A and B are shown apart, each in its own frame.
Chain A
Amino acid sequence: MKRILSYLVARVVLTIPMLFVLLTLVFVVLRVMPGDPVSAMLGGHAPQSVIDAKKEALGLNKPLFAQYIDYLGQLARFDLGRSMILNENVITPILEKLPATIELTFSGLIVTLLVGIPLGVRAARRRRTGGDSAIRFFANITYCIPVYWMGLMLQMFFGVFLNVFPIAGRIGMRIDSSEFDRTGFYILDTLMKGKFLEFGDVLWHLALPSITLGLTLSGVFIRLTRANMLDSLKSDFVLATRARGVAENLVVYRHALKNALIPIVTMLGLQFSALLAGAILTETTFSWPGMGRLLLERIYLRDYPVIQGVIIIYALFVSLVSLLVDIVYAAIDPRVKL
C-alpha cells in the first residue's frame, strides 16, 4: 500500500512540469498574438482613455513577465482567476460545461471498445479470410473519416431523412432540466431522481454523438486488438489451454483476450487525448454544450483566463486518465510491480 501511494504521488508530481510547459506556451501565445480582450469587449471605436482604464483594471498594462508571475502565483493557490469578459470566476463556466464533455467522452469510449475489441478478436480468429480483410478495411476507413463528417452524415441519415434521432443538444426542448440538474451529469441526475422518461431522452440525445465519436476511434482498437490477439493466440499457454480441452470461445475470450488486453489498456491512455480532440469537434457538430464549445466561444472574446483555465482542465483530465490507466495496467498485469 505504501508503495502504491508513493508511486501515485510521484506520478502526480510528474504532471506538474507538463502543465507548466503547456501553460507557459498558451500564456505566451495568447499575449504575443494580435487582439486582446479589451478591444474584443469594447469594439474598435472606444476612446483611448476607456481602453487604458479597462486594461489597467484587468492588469493587462503590466509587463508580460509580471503578468505571468501573477498568474503562476494565483494558480499555486488553486485559483484559476476571474473571467475578463463576464463577471464570473473562471471555474464557474468550466464546472457547468465539464459534465457534458465527460458524459460524451466516456460514452464515446464505450462505443469504441464495444466496436473495436470484438471486431479485432474476430479478425484475428479469421486471419487472412474475407472477413478479416473486410474488418481491416473498415478499420482503415474509420481511421480516415473526419469525426465531424461522420457526425454530419449520421445527422443527415438518422436525424433528417429517417428522423429518428435528435441532431442537437443534450436533452429535449420540452424537458426542464432544472428539475434534476444536480451534478450536471444528466445520466446520473435523471436516474437519481427516478425520472426514467427523461433518462431515456438523455440517452436518445447521447446516441448519435457517442456513436460518431466512438466509431471514428474504433479503427485503432480493431487493429491493435487484432495484432495482439494474433500474438496471444499463437502463444504456448493458449496451446496448453486448448490441449486441456477448454472450449474454443473460452480459450479466445477468457485466456487469449485477457493477455491481449494489456497493450489495449495502454493504448486507451494514449488515445484519450485523441478522444478529447474528437469530442470538441463532435460538440461543434451536435451543438453539445461542453468544454469545447466554451473554449471556442471564449477564444472569439479573447477571454484569456477562461481559455487558460479550459486548457489546464483538459491537461489535468489527460493526466488523470493516464494515471488511471497506469493503475489499471498494474492491476491486470501481475508482472508489473508498482
Chain B
Amino acid sequence: MTDSTDGRKDQAGAAAWSPAGLAAKAIGAFSKAAKRYRMEWWILVAGLIIIGTIVFMTIFPGIFTKFSPVDQNAGPQMVAPSAAHLMGTDNLGRDIWARVVYGSQTILGVAIAASLLSAAIGIPLGLISGFAGNWADKVLSLIMDSIYSFPGLILAIAFAAMLGPGVINITMAVSVVYIPTYFRLVRGQTLQIKEEPYVEASRAIGAKKKTILGRYIFPNVIATVVVVFSLNIADSIMTEAALSYIGLGLPAGIPDWGMDLSMGKKFLPSGMWWMITFPGMMIMTLALGFTMLGEGLAEILNPRLQEY
C-alpha cells in the first residue's frame, strides 16, 4: 500500500479512514454480525449499553446530578419523587438519585475488584493443580470443592463480619466466595487441554513447563474465563449489595445501594416506596447488564448452544 504512484488506491484508503467511512464500516460489520448471531448479539449489545451507561455514571457523576450524596440539606426529608428530586429524598433529607449515581462507584468498584481478585487467585491455582495433578492437586481440589459446595454468602458473611467494615475488606470477603469458581473451571480445562496433541508436541520439543502453561494452555483457557468473569461480576454485585444490606459491608458515609435498601426497609411500613424501589432496581439492572454480556458472549463463543 505504500506505492504512491497508484493514486486511486491512496484515495480509496483515505476515504476508508474518514469518519464517515469508519462509521459505514462499523455499521456494515455490526449488521453483518447482527445477522450472523441474531438474538445472542442483541443480548450482548444490550448488556454493553447498560454497563456502559453505568460506568459513564461512575466516572462523571457530576453530569447526572447537582447534589452531593451525603448532603443532608439536599431537600426536605422523605419527599416523594418530583422534578426537583427525581427519586425523592430519604429520611435524612439526602437526594436518592444522587446516592444512586454515586453509589454506583462503590458497588461497581467492589464487584470488579473482587472478581479480579478471585480470578487472580483461582486461575493460577487451577492451572497448577490441573497441570501438576499430584497430591497438591488433590488437596487443593478438596479445599476448593468444600468451599464451593458451601453457601457462599454464609462464608462471605463470616469473613465480612470478622474483617469489619471497609471497602477493601468487603472486596476480600466477596472474592473468597468466587475463587473456587475459577479454580474448578480452569482446572477442568487444563486437564483437557494438556492431553491435546499440540501440548504433547511442545513437550516433545523440550518446552519448559512454564512455557507450556503460559503459552499453550493459558490462552486456550482464557476464552471461557471471560464469560465466567462477566457472570461472576453480576454475582459479586448481588453479594456485595447483600452484605451491605445486612449491615456488614461499608462504613457509614460511603453511598451504597445495599445500605440504602436496608435504610429504606426501616421506613417501608410508612409507605416510603421510593427509598427501596430505586436502589434495588439499580442493583438488578447492573447485574442484568453483566449477565446479558456474559450470556451473549457464551452463545457467540460457543455456537453449538444456538440450537436452543
Contact = CB atoms under 8 A, between A and B. Distances in A.
Contact of B308 (A156, A230, A315, A322): A230
Contact of A299 (B149, B157, B238, B308): B157
Interface of B: 142-143, 145-147, 149-155, 157-159, 161-164, 234, 238, 241-242, 245-246, 261, 264-265, 268-269, 271, 273, 276-277, 280-281, 283-284, 287-288, 291-292, 295, 308
A26 B158 contact: yes
Which of B151, B157, B159 is the most central at the interface, judged by chain A CB atoms within 10 Å of its CB? B151
Given A144-B288, A149-B261, A156-B271, 20 more contacts: A21-B143, A21-B146, A22-B150, A140-B295, A145-B284, A146-B280, A146-B283, A149-B280, A152-B268, A155-B268, A156-B276, A167-B268, A273-B152, A276-B154, A284-B246, A296-B157, A300-B161, A314-B150, A314-B151, A314-B154
A11 B150 CA distance: 16
A245 interface: no
Contacts of A153: 276-277, 280
A18 interface: yes
A167 B266 CA distance: 12
B265 A29 contact: no
Nearest to A30: B162
15 contacts: A19-B146, A21-B147, A30-B158, A33-B164, A34-B164, A35-B164, A148-B245, A149-B283, A160-B269, A167-B268, A277-B152, A280-B246, A281-B153, A299-B158, A311-B154
Contacts of B246: 280-281, 284, 296
B233 to A, nearest CB: 12
A141 interface: yes
A300 B161 CA distance: 8
A280 B261 contact: no
Nearest to A278: B153
A274 interface: yes
A23 to B, nearest CB: 10
Interface in A283-338: 284-285, 295-296, 299-300, 307, 311, 314-315, 318-319, 322
A33 B245 contact: no
A271 B205 CA distance: 46
A286 to B, nearest CB: 10
A143 interface: yes
A17 interface: yes
A37 B269 CA distance: 35
Interface of A: 17-19, 21-22, 25-26, 29-30, 32-35, 140-141, 143-146, 148-149, 152-153, 155-156, 160-161, 167, 226-227, 230, 273-274, 276-277, 280-281, 284-285, 295-296, 299-300, 307, 311, 314-315, 318-319, 322
B148 to A, nearest CB: 9
A18 to B, nearest CB: 4
A284 B284 CA distance: 19
Contacts of B164: 33-35
A277 B151 CA distance: 6
Contacts of B159: 29
Nearest to A300: B161
A167 B242 contact: no
A227 B308 CA distance: 7
A273 to B, nearest CB: 4
A148 B308 CA distance: 32
Nearest to B143: A21
B284 A149 contact: yes
A25 B288 CA distance: 32
B191 to A, nearest CB: 21
Given A140-B288, A146-B242, A156 B268 contact: yes
